[in-house]
C-alpha cells in the first residue's frame, strides 16, 4: 500500500511533515509520499522523502503565466504528481495533456476522480494510478470505504476494465489504520489523505497509526 499525503494549502510546517513521513517510511518500509505547495517542493525534497507535486499544468515551455510546469516541479525534486484533484479539476483533454507533461520528465502520476465511471475514463489515459475520491467526503473523517464501499470496488473494476496496469488508490476521509485496511480489503493499492496528517498535532504519531496494520 502506498500513502500519499496532500498538504493542500494548510498552515502546517511542510518540512516537519516531510521529515515525519521520511522517518516512518524508512522504519516501516511503507512507501509514503508528501505533496506540498509548489513553492515548498525543494524544501520537502531535501528531507529525502518521496516528493510529489499537487498538480502540474497541461503545458510546455512558453507563455503560460501562473502555470506549474512539469519541468520546474521535477527540477525542484518532485518525483510524482497528483492530477485532477476535486479542488483542482481539469477537462479530460487537459488531463491527457498534463499526463504527457508529467511523462516528459518522468513523474509518477495519480489522477483523481469522483466516481467509478470517471475512474474508467481517466484510467484509459494511462496514468500510473487513479484515486477515487467522492468530493462530499473530503475532509469529513468518514472514508469512502465505510460510507459507500461499492464505490471503491466498482472503481477497481472500472480501472481494470480500462487498463489493468493502473493502480487504484482510495481517498476522501482517510485518517486511521482501520481506514487503510478497509481500502486494501476493497482492492485499493494505496491511499490519499490530507487533514488526517497535515492538521495533526503530531504528524509522526498520525502516520504511525495509519500504517500500523501494514507492519
Query: Known binding site for substrate: residues?
Result: 6-8, 138, 173, 194-195
Mark whether 136 is an active-site residue. no
Residue 174: closest CA among 132, 113, 214: 132
CA-CA distance, 20 to 209, in Å (whole number)?
A: 12
Rg over CA atoms, the chain: 16
C-alpha angle 72-139-200 in degrees, rounded to nearest 5:
80
Residue 80: closest CA among 112, 60, 102: 102
Mark whether 133 is an active-site residue. yes
Catalytic site residue from 55, 133, 208, 215: 133
Residue 182: closest CA among 150, 207, 139, 160: 150
Catalytic site residue from 40, 50, 55, 85: 85
CA-CA distance, 99 to 83, in Å (whole number)?
A: 8
For 111, phi and psi rounded to 5 degrees? -100, 125
Q: How far is CA 93 from CA 17, 90, 163, 214, in A?
A: 34, 8, 18, 37
CB 210 within 8 A of CB 23: no
Catalytic residues: 85, 133
Amino acid at each position: 500500500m502506498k500513502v500519499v499525503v496532500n498538504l493542500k494549502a494548510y498552515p502546517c510546517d511542510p518540512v516537519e511533515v516531510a521529515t515525519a513521513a521520511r522517518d516512518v517510511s524508512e522504519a516501516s518500509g511503507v512507501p509514503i509520499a508528501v505533496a506540498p505547495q509548489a513553492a515548498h517542493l525543494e524544501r520537502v525534497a531535501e528531507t529525502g522523502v518521496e516528493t510529489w507535486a499537487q498538480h502540474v499544468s497541461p503545458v510546455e515551455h512558453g507563455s503560460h503565466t501562473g502555470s506549474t510546469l512539469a519541468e520546474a516541479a521535477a527540477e525542484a525534486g518532485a518525483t510524482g504528481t497528483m492530477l485532477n484533484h476535486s479542488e483542482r479539476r481539469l477537462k479530460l483533454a487537459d488531463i491527457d495533456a498534463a499526463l504527457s507533461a508529467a511523462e516528459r520528465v518522468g513523474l509518477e502520476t495519480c489522477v483523481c476522480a469522483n466516481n467509478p465511471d470517471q475512474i474508467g475514463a481517466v484510467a484509459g489515459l494511462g496514468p500510473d494510478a487513479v484515486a477515487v475520491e467522492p468530493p462530499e467526503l473530503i475532509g469529513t473523517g468518514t472514508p469512502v470505504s465505510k460510507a459507500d464501499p461499492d464505490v471503491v470496488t466498482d472503481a477497481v473494476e472500472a480501472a481494470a476494465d480500462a487498463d489493468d496496469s493502473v493502480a487504484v488508490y482510495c481517498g476522501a476521509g482517510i485518517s486511521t489504520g482501520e481506514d487503510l485496511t478497509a481500502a486494501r480489503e476493497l482492492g485499493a493499492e494505496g491511499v490519499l489523505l490530507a487533514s488526517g496528517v497535515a492538521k495533526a498535532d503530531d504528524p509522526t504519531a498520525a502516520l504511525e497509526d495509519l500504517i500500523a496494520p501494514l507492519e
